Chain A
Amino acid sequence: MILAGVDGDRAWRLQDYLARGGYSALKKIISEKIPPEAIIAELKTAVLRGRGGAGFPTGLKWSFMPRSFPGDKYLACNSDEGEPGTFKDRDILRYNPHSVIEGMTIAAYAMGCARGYNYIHGEIFEIYQRFEEALEEARAANLLGADILGSGFSFDLFAHHGYGAYICGEETALLESIEGKKGQPRFKPPFPASYGLYGKPTTINNTETFASVPFIINMGGEAFLNLGKPNNGGMKLFSVSGHVNRPGNYEIPLGTPFSELLEMAGGMRGGRKLKAVIPGGSSSPVLPADVMMSCTMDYDSISKAGSMLGSGAVIVMDETTCMVKALERLSYFYFEESCGQCTPCREGTGWLYRVVHRIENGLGRADDLDLLNSVTGNIMGRTICALGDAASMPVQSFIKHFGGEFQYHIENKKCLVSPEVQYEGSQIYVSPSC
């Protein structure tokens, strides 16, 4: 849908988007004078759930905006994609930026916003530049700006780049960052719908969420819902990384069996055995191979299996992976990226990293697993934002499912998987199709 057949060099250009039927949803809304309430109702029928990670119903979120509020209202797109394993928004902006612009313009119309910002991850600066060009194209064609297509509706949209801070993917940190401050999350409530950017009502959605909107308007909410499964409407992009033959993005109906997704990604590299999968980005609990192989790729199935669909980032690990080493790297990431505002997270992520690090390096102590569980227990639910929980869930789930491997490390001062096997398994690998 969003990425179907759009991988050519010029596919991102306005002309190509128009040739694919682009901006027809916006034109339909304008020419048929579809009321904002009807657009929001359509999204609710579609059961479009936020594609950034939380899976919150988009229609419901839009209905929280005080449409009749007389002052400024803002719209923000969260393209600050830095959750390890996730790389779908980059491809959407790279190959189909106008779908995001159109989706945001429809959202602005539905919620009465006059101005919006797309916050783009700093590390993909070339994509930020491309998005700015796409904005220029849309402005020149009067699809953006004052009095869009003579409708009397005005909306302007700008690109804002990050510069290396994972935390800005948290929606209130993102707003702080647009305001030109450190990206430190705000207390909620008040929620952004009442106190957002510059203190004004603001709605923030993920890139893929916005990009799905034009399709829903065109095909109707019911048809979109039916692409997926009940309570899990539509198609979804899955970023598959790790030990597969063809890492990449795969856009499939929600509810597709994991085994089919694995097959699409070329199966296991070197025909090796699947060991574990992180199904929804690094913050979601890891699942062992057998549990994962019985899951379908949708919010409800993955949640039932004890994890989260999150952003749809599927990190595949085979039998050559040392689970302690894998967790050590993730724990370092959260330690490095904690914004430092809340003591349990700032100090706790350091504790988690240092303890996992010493286990990995043969210095683990008999009570270290209890210590790790105690630290996570003291972080979770005690911080302003979800980063503390995100740092804790991998630790808890790695210990829960692979505790034996951690125990082996502590008792034998070495990895269960021999270093030679690990070394071979993590060699530089580039798919021949790249």
Chain B
Amino acid sequence: MLSQESLQQIDREVAKYPADQKQSAVMAALRIAQVEKGWLPQELIAFIADYLEMPAIAAYEVASFYNMYDLEPVGKHKITVCTNLPCALSGGVHAADYVKQKLGIDFNETTADGKFTLKEGECMGACGDAPVLLVNNHHMCSWMTKEKIDQLLADLESK
């Protein structure tokens, strides 16, 4: 269900924990699976649980508790904009509005071509870099002026 490369990455994570604590690697394993497949269907979560010798429900609990796991399909590029108070004071909400306007979608929506999904994020721990957004969970973009948002969307569009 997952590529050899992903499985090797998961094995490296498992090795970080005591031999009888494989379940500790579930957060990393779900992340690795999501990177390969784009989102986490139930069968994939069950596969991860099996691989780590833990009950499927326990893996599902983790996948549904932490908000960066996607339990439904998302666009090719998921953009998460922080609108929490410190960011909002430096334009976080304006930046989010601008992305909405450019993409023609609201929060929790995906563009018709399936390229972009927009999410509202909670504090990313980078308030000094406001406005801040994440691309596909892992790449943080700081000080997002309208010009930089234009540039980012154009770059992602061509990918």
Interface residues of A (CB under 8 A from B): 72, 81-87, 89-90, 115, 117, 121-126, 158-166, 177-183, 198, 239-243, 247-249, 282, 313, 315-317, 321, 326, 329-330, 333, 336-337, 339, 425-430, 434
In the complex, are the beta carbons of A82 and B58 less than 8 A apart? no
Give every chain A residue within 8 A of B95 (Cβ-Cβ): 428
Interface size on B, as a range, is: 35 or more
Structural contact, A87 and B122, CB atoms closer than 8 A: no
In the bound complex, CA of A84 to CA of B84 (Å): 7
A160 touching B89 in the complex, CB below 8 Å, given contacts A123-B121, A247-B128: no
Say whether B56 faces chain A, with CB atoms less than 8 Å apart. Answer: no
Q: Which residues of A contact B67 (CB under 8 A)?
A: 163-165
Q: Is the CB of A87 within 8 A of B58?
A: no
| Residues of the B chain whose Cβ atoms lie less than 8 Å from the Cβ of A89 | 125
Contact A90 B31 (CB under 8 A): no
* B127 proximity list for chain A (CB < 8 A): 84-87, 239, 241, 247, 313, 315
Decide: B126 and A317 in contact? CB cutoff 8 A: no
Q: Is the CB of A179 within 8 A of B21?
A: yes
Given A242-B90, A426-B89, A427-B91: A121 and B125 interface contact (C-beta under 8 Å): yes
Q: Chain A residues near B54 (CB, 8 Å)?
A: 180
Q: List the interface of chain B (C-beta within 8 A of A).
A: 16-18, 21, 23-28, 30-31, 52, 54, 58, 61-62, 65-69, 83-91, 93-95, 121-131, 134, 137-140, 142-146
Q: How many A-B residue pairs have CB under 8 A?
A: 183
- Distance from A338 Cβ to chain B, minimum over Cβ atoms (Å): 12
List chain A residues, Cβ under 8 A from B65. Answer: 165, 182-183, 339
Q: How far in angstroms is the closest Cβ of chain A from B66?
A: 4
- Assembly CA distance A1 to B134 (angstroms): 30
Cβ contacts under 8 Å, B25 to chain A? 180
Return chain B residues, CB-CB under 8 Å to A81: 125
On whether A87 and B125 interact (CB within 8 A), knowing A163-B27, A182-B61, A434-B143, the answer reads yes
Expressed in whole angstroms, the Cα–Cα distance for A282 and B85 within the complex equals 9
Of the listed residues B26, B65, B66, B137, the one surrounded by the most CB atoms of chain A closer than 10 A to its CB is B65
User: What are the residues of chain B within 8 A of A247 when measuring CB–CB?
Assistant: 90, 127-128, 130
Bound: A329/B127 CA distance, A: 15
Q: Which of the listed residues B17, B58, B62, B127 has the most CB atoms from chain A within 10 Å of its own CB?
A: B127
Residues on the A chain within 8 Å of B125, using CB: 81-82, 86-87, 89-90, 121, 123-124
Q: List 19 A-B contacts (CB under 8 A).
A: A82-B125, A85-B127, A122-B66, A123-B121, A124-B125, A161-B31, A163-B27, A164-B66, A181-B23, A241-B89, A247-B130, A282-B123, A317-B89, A333-B123, A428-B144, A428-B145, A430-B143, A434-B142, A434-B143
Residues on the B chain within 8 Å of A82, using CB:
122-125
**CB closest residue in chain A, given B20:** A198
Question: Are A84 and B85 neighbours in the complex by a CB distance under 8 Å?
Answer: yes
Given A90-B125, A123-B125, A179–B88 Cβ distance below 8 Å?
no
* A241 contact set on B, CB distance < 8 A: 86-87, 89-90, 127-128, 130
| Contact present for B89 and A337 (CB under 8 Å) | no
Docked complex Cα distance between A123 and B69 (Å): 12
Kindly list the 10 A-B residue pairs having the minimum CB-CB distance in the complex, ordered from nearest.
A428-B91, A180-B23, A164-B68, A164-B67, A123-B124, A241-B86, A163-B66, A241-B127, A81-B125, A125-B138
Chain B residues lying within 8 Å of A126, measured Cβ to Cβ, are 138-140
If A123-B134, A317-B89, A426-B93 touch, whether A248 touches B84 (CB-CB below 8 Å) is: no
* Minimal Cβ-Cβ distance residue in B for A86: B125
A81-B125, A82-B122 as given contacts; A122 in contact with B130, CB under 8 Å: no
Q: Is the CB of A160 within 8 A of B31?
A: no
Cα distance, A72 to B85, chains bound together (Å): 42
Contact A179 B123 (CB under 8 A): no
